[in-house]
Amino acid sequence: MRDRSEDLQAEKLSEELKAMSPDQIETKAKNDLENEDELEPAIALTQSPSAMSSVLAVEQALLSKISTCLGQSAKVMSNQRLGNVEYDAIVRAKDGKRIIVEIKYIRKGFNRGWFSETASGLASRMALYTKTFDESCTGLLLVVIATSNSPLSNKLAQMAEELRSSNPSRLDKIRVHSIYQSDIANMPCLELTKIVMGNIG
């Protein structure tokens, strides 16, 4: 019965979830860049092809590393669409865990509004996934910081703690982690797996 149930679930997934096209992936990266530039207009970078390529390359490198590290224990479905809603990645583990991963690449900075809006967006994606597939899930906001040893890592952790204290429901079932871009390639799989699969505290 369980095998049949999983087969039906796989069929529904293939019908409902669609891989994003290259143009859609590029548009999403462009929107992420524009959102960051709005936060720091005085030092906004032009939306150059190289800036776009950086966003796409970082996301691809991280998702590839996650997929490699998780191996046979989970399926990593990257750049998916459910209706008009986009998902950076959906991790479907063999132990039943379902994790919606949102990746943000930060070159310059962010503020509380951006963080709160990003968390709300992830929560909405989780709710839609659960409603569509009748599977509970958790969320992972993974922020990649361009500059090594940047204080933005501590700032992110502080904002997450403040939001969790002041409005616990906003980060319900969502974990927040940061990774320096330079650490992606050499991060031990054990460490990355713990970040992705870790239990909700």
What pLDDT does residue 42 have? Answer: 39
Residue that is written with structure tokens 């970040």 in the block = 195
3 against 156, higher pLDDT:
156
d(CA 135, CA 127): 10
pLDDT > 70: percent of the chain: 79
pLDDT at 45 over 50: no
User: What pLDDT band is residue 41 in, cutting at 50, 70 and 90?
Assistant: very low
How many structural domains compose the chain?
1
pLDDT per residue as tens digits for the range 182-191? 999 999 999 9
What pLDDT does residue 48 have? Answer: 56
Burial annotation 4-22 (CB, 10 A radius, 16+ → b, else e): eeeeeeeeebeeebeebee
CATH of the domain at 124: 3.40.91
Q: Which helix (H) or strand (E) holds 4?
A: helix 2-16
pLDDT per residue as tens digits for the range 73-112? 999 999 999 988 999 999 999 999 999 999 999 988 899 8
What pLDDT does residue 123 have? Answer: 95
Range of the domain at 145: 2-197
Residue that is written with structure tokens 């319900």 in the block = 172
Q: Coil, strand, or helix at residue 21?
A: coil
d(CA 190, CA 63): 15
What pLDDT does residue 10 have? Answer: 63
User: What pLDDT band is residue 3 in, cutting at 50, 70 and 90?
Assistant: low
User: How far from 23 is each of 30, 88, 122, CA to CA, in Å?
Assistant: 10, 14, 22
pLDDT at 54 over 60: yes
Quote the pTM value. Answer: 0.81
Q: Would you say the C-alpha torsion 39, 61, 84, 198 has a positive or negative sign?
A: negative
Q: Coil, strand, or helix at residue 82?
A: strand
Residue that is written with structure tokens 């590290």 in the block = 69
Alpha helices of 90-188 — where are they, by DSSP H?
112-133, 152-166
